[in-house]
């Protein structure tokens, strides 16, 4: 018998410690399925061509890059470790916090789960690539004007996601901005300033395309 918070008894299923652990393991395995599947596919594709180190050509911040790398390499690791573009931050590594957000062909993505082997011919834009000859991007300036950050760790990902949000046409109102920016977490709680920043920069970002 189990007691409810009110103190009444009710019947409930009994879960053994072993059953709980088995369930947790199964849930964890399912959660990792997509990423593991993607990595396995990339390896299979590379092996089909006789190599586990595919060569990929792509553009990063307007500069063409060609890299030969392990098929399991993520875009986040490549940016930070190979190109020293450390503005893209390491957060949860599970695509749940948004700190690693970049733009690929204009669309916002989580770079922590994006395999480099999938980027052939793609155009990648990071926080380092949005300013124009030293002049801040309108979204960067708006974040400053509206105190859209405190510690600043999540800010690069927030800004990249905000640009993507506007380009997607999901910045028409404060509630819509909050909804479509919800994948980017700010542990300092600067959400009010973030929404205000997106509203301020919206028109300029839309005009720039």
Q: Where are the beta strands (DSSP E) in 2-158?
A: 2-3, 9-10, 55-60, 63-68, 101-104, 107-110, 123-125
> Does domain 29-129 sit in CATH 3.10.20.30?
yes
Question: Any idea what DSSP says for residue 85?
Answer: -
Distance CA 139, CA 145 (A): 10
Query: pLDDT 10s per residue in the chain (209 long)?
Result: 444 444 444 444 455 555 544 554 454 444 445 445 555 555 555 555 555 789 999 999 999 999 999 999 999 999 999 999 999 999 999 999 999 999 999 999 999 999 999 999 999 999 999 998 889 999 999 999 999 999 999 999 999 999 999 999 999 999 999 999 999 999 999 999 999 999 999 999 999 87
Q: What pLDDT, on a 0 to 100 scale, did the predictor assign at position 19?
A: 56
Give span(s): CATH 3.10.20.30, the chain. 29-129
Q: State both tokens at 123.
A: 């155009």
Give span(s): CATH 1.10.150.120, the chain. 138-208
Nearest alpha carbon to residue 62 among 36, 85, 45, 92: 85
CATH hierarchy code of domain 138-208: 1.10.150.120
Total length of the chain = 209
């Amino acid at each position: 018998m189990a007691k409810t918070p009110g103190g009444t008894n009710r019947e409930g299923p009994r879960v053994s410690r072993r059953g709980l652990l088995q369930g947790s393991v199964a849930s964890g395995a399912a959660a990792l399925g997509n990423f593991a599947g993607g990595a396995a596919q990339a390896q299979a594709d590379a092996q089909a061509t006789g190599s586990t180190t595919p060569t990929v050509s792509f553009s990063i911040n307007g500069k063409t890059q060609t890299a030969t790398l392990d098929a399991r390499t993520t875009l986040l690791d490549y940016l930070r470790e190979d190109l020293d573009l450390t503005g893209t931050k390491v957060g949860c590594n599970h695509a749940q916090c948004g700190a690693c957000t970049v733009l690929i062909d204009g669309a916002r993505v989580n770079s922590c789960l994006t395999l480099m082997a999938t980027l052939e011919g793609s155009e990648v834009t990071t926080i380092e690539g949005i300013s124009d000859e030293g002049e801040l991007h309108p979204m960067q300036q708006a974040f400053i004007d509206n105190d859209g950050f405190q510690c600043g760790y999540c800010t690069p990902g927030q800004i990249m996601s905000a640009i993507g949000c506007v380009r997607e046409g999901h910045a028409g109102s404060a509630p819509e901005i909050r909804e479509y920016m919800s994948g980017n977490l700010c542990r300092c709680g600067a959400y009010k300033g973030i929404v205000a920043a997106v509203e301020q920069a919206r028109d300029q970002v839309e005009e720039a395309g």
